[in-house]
Structure 1
Amino acid sequence: MPLPLLPPLLLPLEALLDLALHLVDSTGVAYSARQVTPTAPLPRLRGSSTSNDVTDNSGCKELTFIFARGTTEIGNMGTVVGPKVGEALKSLTGNKAAIQGVDYPADAAGNAALGGSGGPKMASLVETALKQCPDTKIVLGGYSQGAMVVHNAASKLSSGQVVGAVTFGDPFKSQKPDNIDQFKTFCASGDPVCLNGANVMAHLSYGNDAQTAAQFLVSAAGL
């Protein structure tokens, strides 16, 4: 399946943060996040920026969530939305969710690979999780460049291996990933990555959608 061209404003997260945090008015007073955008302020980190339940073989859970972070985010889960979805999944399932981040470069150059720098690793993690725990339900997630990783990984998997996926700020939001029946994408108004908008803060607002995304994934898994 051919993939669409990248939006011209697919900026590294580092650049988005820098721009958002340095917007100033003519008096030199920095705008708050709410002044810059109608969406919520920069989300605070909840949960760990690194999770390795699959690679550490931490034990079988009813649900396994594999997530790909956005460009320049730290750890293997990032901070904007990945850890929040993971924590919400644990809460909704009574701590019966395994959380795993994709260890891929997530650098600016990787955007040109359209998810190819992390897709094979995500697909491999799915295979590993199912080998370790054949009865676990696999769900995927990705933010920004990580959303492209989800699309790339899905094309390498078989139908039924993954029961659901969510993406945030997805450049390919109009395309449902291959081989995944249950899919939901979140694209904030004005997001320069998924809507060619001009509101850089919108691309950083997806922590607000973590609970909704987690509820969707739990439902997709039939839990």
Structure 2
Amino acid sequence: MKVLAPLALGACVLATALTEDEFPALLNHSTIRFDRLQSKWELLSADKSNKNATKTKKPIFAPSPTRTRDHPLPDPTEPDPWSGLELNWPCLINDDFLELGCRPVMFFFARGSSQLGNMGRKPGPFIAKLLRDHYGFRNVSVQGVGYGAWVLGNLMKDGTDAKGINLMKQLLHEAAVSCQHSKIIVSGYSQGAAVVHAAFETLEQEVIDRTNAIVLFGDTRTKYSNNTVANFPRNKTLSLCNKKDIICEQGRLILNDNHLDYTNRSEEAAQFIIKMLPDVPSKHGKLPFHPPPPRPQYRP
């Protein structure tokens, strides 16, 4: 019999279907952490309309003994404790930076409208997995931007709400100040791309200079940005737009199947990020990638 179980893996929370034999084995895995499972799972399951939830919300930057200590570059040949551990679902909530501090590669991702957790199911977790496969699990910090991601945020002036913009700026500022030797990657999907655009319009120049690459998927602001991000070099920016994705091709907020799945662009995005980080050693050399199964062709 399979059970649906919430699991805390590192600083990640996911739901996965496990057999009765698999579950105890996974529980005993030395790298699984359950210390924050309860609060994270409540966040994932909570009704977003519950206004009282904000009264007990913890500070954005909780005290951490590691956040102000810059980590040296780990040995890329170090054995990966996650090797061979197959997960059925991607991480929905990832707080590596807030909980574990600095790593050589820092990946910040803003999810799309109505997606769960702070990462969503795709494409963010897939990019994160490819980067970890390439550099090693311990060498990559994955941090989701926990903004509201309300659908109505798309209708606001900046294409998203001010709280999400400020949260992105706070995270990047904290990373730039605390992790002097880390590489910073910023990414966003759909409304999350709008969060990236708006944040970089008013971000401090020293934080912008510390950012190594930006990758956008299904950008809702393409009509206004021309595939660029304000104050950021064009050659360090990759904006991916699926063919016939009306939202990013035409700048119209009309949702279709072509906007919903950017998983098939994950390898393209990861390869671009790796190209932007030539001085970070890889773990395996060639980037491993297993493409998702084909989906039916969209017909307008």
Q: Deviations over 1:117-159 (max 9, x none)?
A: 3222111101111233111111111000001011111122223
1:83 and 2:83 are equivalent in the alignment: no
Task: List structure 1 runs of 4+ shifted beyond 6 angstroms.
Answer: none
CA contact (8 A) 1:151 1:178 kept: yes
Give the stretch that moved more between structures: 139-148 or 198-207: 198-207
Q: How does 1:1-223 map to 2 (within 5 A)?
A: 46-56=89-99, 58-95=100-137, 96-113=139-156, 114-117=159-162, 118-157=164-203, 158=205, 159-173=208-222, 174-181=226-233, 182-196=236-250, 200-222=256-278, 223=280
> Aligned partners of 2:105 and 2:160: how far apart in 1?
24
Give the secondary structure class of the aligned counterpart of 1:193: helix
Give 1:147's aligned amino acid. Answer: A
Gaps of 5+ in 1: 1-44
- The number of residues matched between the two structures is 179
Alpha-carbon offset, residue 199 of structure 1: 7.4
> Aligned partners of 2:228 and 2:160: how far apart in 1?
15
Give 2:237's aligned amino acid. Answer: F
Give the secondary structure class of the aligned counterpart of 1:184: strand
Give 1:191's aligned amino acid. Answer: D
Give the stretch that moved more between structures: 141-150 or 88-97: 88-97
Give the secondary structure class of the aligned counterpart of 1:189: coil
> Aligned partners of 1:184 and 1:46: how far apart in 2?
26
Q: Deviations over 1:100-124 (max 9, x none)?
A: 0001000011112323432221111
CA contact (8 A) 1:120 1:152 kept: no
TM-score if structure 1 supplies the norm length? 0.74
> Aligned partners of 1:175 and 1:195: how far apart in 2?
11
Q: Relative contact order (alpha carbons < 8 A, sep ≥ 6): 1 or 2 greater?
A: 1
CA contact (8 A) 2:247 2:255 kept: no
Change (3 A) 1:63 1:205: same
> Aligned partners of 1:146 and 1:101: how far apart in 2?
10
Give 1:68's aligned amino acid. Answer: A
Give the secondary structure class of the aligned counterpart of 2:247: coil
Give 2:160's aligned amino acid. Answer: G
Alpha-carbon offset, residue 99 of structure 1: 0.3
CA contact (8 A) 2:184 2:211 kept: yes
Gaps of 5+ in 2: 1-87, 281-300
